[in-house]
Structure 1
């Protein structure tokens, strides 16, 4: 091993040790038990299926009773944890900007009748129009994206949506707090490119851009193909009477005769999608509806942006490709901007790999946790586990199975890095103290019934998103959406 390579490994190891020490400082009650629980998730040989099985991992030196007590009675300083996640090295796009993806994923708890604050969560069925609502805890998660094809992201924040929350307002506040933390941590400085926030069609992109207009943030989101936007108002004629118009002609996504000549047109040859055609139209805005902008005083604002239509030649699955409509909060887009934006939007789907790893490998939704506070605590532990995997990525070796193909060090997946973390852990800092000998409590005397049954809680309706509620059946004659009231 060369001296330069050895110094690089020591630097990566020091960064990992620094985060582990800060993570332990974020645990304010039962810190050692919670820290070793995170190490058990990191060093397990198999996907996590239950909390009790984690107590059998060698790195966890405490019993299963202390493990459950740590999850139910421990404490995590969430604000300090968020700042620690924002202070570690973050991935950036090719041009050096931070790219954030925001999405909602659900921890489904259909049979947890004693769990409070459950909400009917939208789930996707296997057949057409088979979407059903299932009770659970929805979480709004923000991740920083990498530029190339990768299953890695950098989770930065998570907020559980409580019953009655306005998802658009909660997401805007979440992004605002995150951008301010990134500025405080030195991740963004004056003169840097604006942070790009990418969202799917479930978000009201113009409203999100309006709420974040005073921050160095640009919003890029997909829009449904039945939307209708408006052009800028035409110049007022001399000596014209009456109130001047606020909106110009309609731009109907489903009617090509209303599009006109695009402002830019870029053609790109891709390996997966064949020829990709990106056309953009500048300065288009939705006609807003008062019900979605109840807090707006006076006249509703005009939120202009750029609409990009992406047409591709083929899909990897062989299905017939459909056009993708994107709305960008910036104006005056060039051909290079259009090409960069649609490729950046495709990276949004990397967050789905993170959700899958959280649920299927790290066991985020496996524990039968009763209270939502314990669910938040366990969520922060999973965030700390994933961040340690990301920091240990340059240190990990490829410990592949005999039937797996070799992978270069720069292409290791999070699951493969987890296989080698048990060998990396002894070289990093471990601030958790050894457990003290103790005995279990007496518990309830035998034969005595429980006189204090756990209360039951009702399931709440879905959160308000400023968008249309999910329907099991689509209308046979859908009409174009001409207002900003329903924007999903």
Structure 2
């Protein structure tokens, strides 16, 4: 039987076996143990709770000591792993466009005093209207999004943010390397539509678009509702003295009298959100200043024009009162079709939250009590490889629903349901890992002798502050200043 479709694509089993072989080649030390550990994550009966319990799964042929040693002393070729993830079939939108979502999720380690390079991570939902910083390791993860109603994504890259890193600069470098790898792998070719990179309000969308302006990408991102943008400079009148203005009138998100007539206005009926009204205004840009991320810029700051889209909906699935969503797109001259395509693509960005939840609650990404950040990076790559195998095994999986669950067709299986059938799919695939060798445990520390080399403790990195007040300042009642850059 041929292993290729008529259009040149490999059969699902052949593509999955090819990726497993490439994944094994990325493991340059303790490769057999690391590869088998990823298989055990896939073949477990329930959520992963600890590494020690993984050693009890039937597919694990090694002891728990080899499991821990593989994470502590193994090696993963991260660059080759990124190339392997970029070479697998990726989901695309209806017009054949790649849609990437970038976000930061945290591996919280509040009690790991012996773990270095921890930084304060902002957490949400742990208190009433409170954002509590908790020590941990933040990771910037990029995923390719699927169209339509789906909880599937395609993780392509994971990068741990070290203490002192500028998130915008590191993310821009990460996205640049990823887009270049996608082009090298043939995922984008000349004549294809530009790649969409969707981000949330925590990213500086104009700066991200400016840094990536030489790549075939477009950046739609959400903006805070207190932003102030500028219109294009008006034409210079004859016989006018002085320097010509660089910026036009203000466009204040919170003042409707400054908006003017929108360039496009669409109304769409949706199942979840009711009636969605989208309005767009063309060629708006922020007024940049030599501060924050532009402090090191030399000369005249650029004018970064884009399209602003305001989305209003009738209701939310949670029953909460909906708020308007402001989007900024790095393109200009958007028509009604572009406006609808962009806000619908932005709503698909929330699928990445389902992937993060599966990583943490089912695959056990943050469950192991790993000491070093290097071991955390190895475990993260194993989780990404395991999830990619789940995605490639979708056409091969059968629905093994619980008695109380509604059966679904094979094309509607969720990642958790595909994982239930991984144990039956694994024997049909290539397994390059070798059998374990017989060994004996080491002598260890003699009984009664104390540990004379205690593990060093590390402080949590905190952002540097410009000054420390001598007394606690009272909460100001004046309104917050507008964000103009």
TM > 0.5 between the two? yes
- Tell me how far apart the structure 1 counterparts of residues 58 and 334 of structure 2 sit (CA, whole Å): 55
Q: Secondary structure at the match of 2:219?
A: strand
Contact 1:161-1:463 at 8 Å conserved across structures: no
CA separation of 1:462/1:99 partners in 2, compared to 1, >3 Å: closer, same or farther? farther
Distance 1:117 1:126, change over 3 A: closer
2: distance between equivalents of 1:161 and 1:296? 23
Give the conservation status (yes or no) of the 8 Å contact 1:232–1:247: yes
Show the 5 A alignment for 1:339-378: 339-378=340-379
Match of 1:56 in 2: 56
Distance in 2 (CA, whole Å) between partners of 1:481 and 1:409 is 51
Counterpart residue number, 1:455: 456
Asked if the contact 2:12/2:396 (under 8 Å) is kept, the reply is: yes
- The answer (yes or no) to whether the contact 2:126–2:132 under 8 Å persists in 1 is no
Shift of 1:408: 1.0
How far the C-alpha of 1:193 sits from its partner, in A, is: 0.3
How far apart in 1 are the matches of 2:331 and 2:396? 40
Counterpart of 1:266? 266
1:480 is displaced (CA, Å) by 4.9
- Partners of 1:167 and 1:463 within 8 A in 2: no
Counterpart for residue 409 of structure 1 = 410
Q: Which residue of 2 aligns with 1:379?
A: 380
Which residue in the other structure is 2:204 paired with? 204
Residue in 1 aligned with 2:400? 399
1:253 aligns with 2:245: no
Q: Aligned runs of 1:156-171 on 2, under 5 Å?
A: 156-171=156-171
Are 1:104 and 2:108 matched, yes or no?
no
| Distance across 2 between alignment mates of 1:474 and 1:278 | 36
2:47 equivalent in structure 1: 47
Alignment of 1:72 with 2:76, yes or no, is no
* Deviation digits for residues 331-354 of structure 1 (CA, Å, limit 9, x no counterpart): 000001001100000000000000
Alignment of 1:275 onto 2:275? yes
Segments of 5+ residues of structure 1 without an aligned counterpart are 465-472
Equivalences for 1:286-301 in 2 at 5 Å?
286-291=286-291, 292-301=293-302
Question: C-alpha distance in 1, partners of 2:464/2:147?
Answer: 32
**1-side partners of 2:411 and 2:463: how far apart?**
41
CA contact (8 A) 2:4 2:11 kept: no
Please report the TM-score for the alignment, with normalisation by the length of structure 1: 0.94
Shift of 1:477: 4.3
Q: Distance in 2 between matches of 1:247 and 1:8?
A: 52
- CA separation in 2, counterparts of 1:432 and 1:31? 7
Q: Check the 8 A contact 2:108/2:135 in 1, yes or no.
A: yes
Cα gap change, 1:209 to 1:64, in 2 (>3 Å): same
RMSD, aligned α-carbons:
2.0
Relative contact order higher in (CA < 8 Å, ≥ 6 apart):
1
Match of 2:332 in 1: 331
CA contact (8 A) 2:86 2:156 kept: yes
Question: Which deviations, in whole Å up to 9, do the C-alpha atoms of 1:143-166 show, x marking residues without a partner?
Answer: 000011111000000100000000
Residues 474 and 232 of structure 1, relative CA distance in 2, 3 Å threshold: farther
Q: CA contact under 8 A between 1:120 and 1:133: conserved in structure 2? A: yes
CA contact (8 A) 1:287 1:482 kept: no
Q: Is the 8 A contact 1:9 1:394 kept in 2?
A: no
- Count of residue pairs brought into register by the alignment: 474
Q: CA deviation at 1:321?
A: 1.1
Q: Which residue of 2 aligns with 1:467?
A: none
Task: Please list every run of at least 4 consecutive aligned residues from structure 1 whose deviation after the TM superposition is greater than 2 angstroms.
Answer: 7-10, 125-129, 473-483
Question: Is 312-321 or 84-93 further displaced after alignment?
Answer: 312-321
Question: Is the Cα–Cα contact under 8 Å of residues 172 and 211 in structure 1 kept in the other structure?
Answer: yes
1:318 deviates by 1.8
1:244 Cα deviation (Å)? 1.0
Q: Over residues 179-206 of structure 1, what are the superposed CA-to-partner deviations in whole Å (9 max), with x where a residue is unaligned? A: 0000000000000000000000000000
Deviations along 1:100-121, whole A, 9 cap, x unmatched?
A: 0000000000000000000000
The answer to whether structure 1 residue 218 and structure 2 residue 218 are counterparts is yes
Secondary structure of 1:446 counterpart? coil
Find the counterpart in structure 2 of residue 140 from structure 1: 140
Residue 128 (structure 1) shift: 3.2
TM-fit CA distance, 1:223: 0.5
Q: Are the counterparts in 2 of residues 228 and 480 from structure 1 also a CA contact under 8 Å?
A: no
TM-score, length basis structure 2: 0.95
Structure 1 residue 24: Cα displacement: 0.4
2:421 partner SS: helix
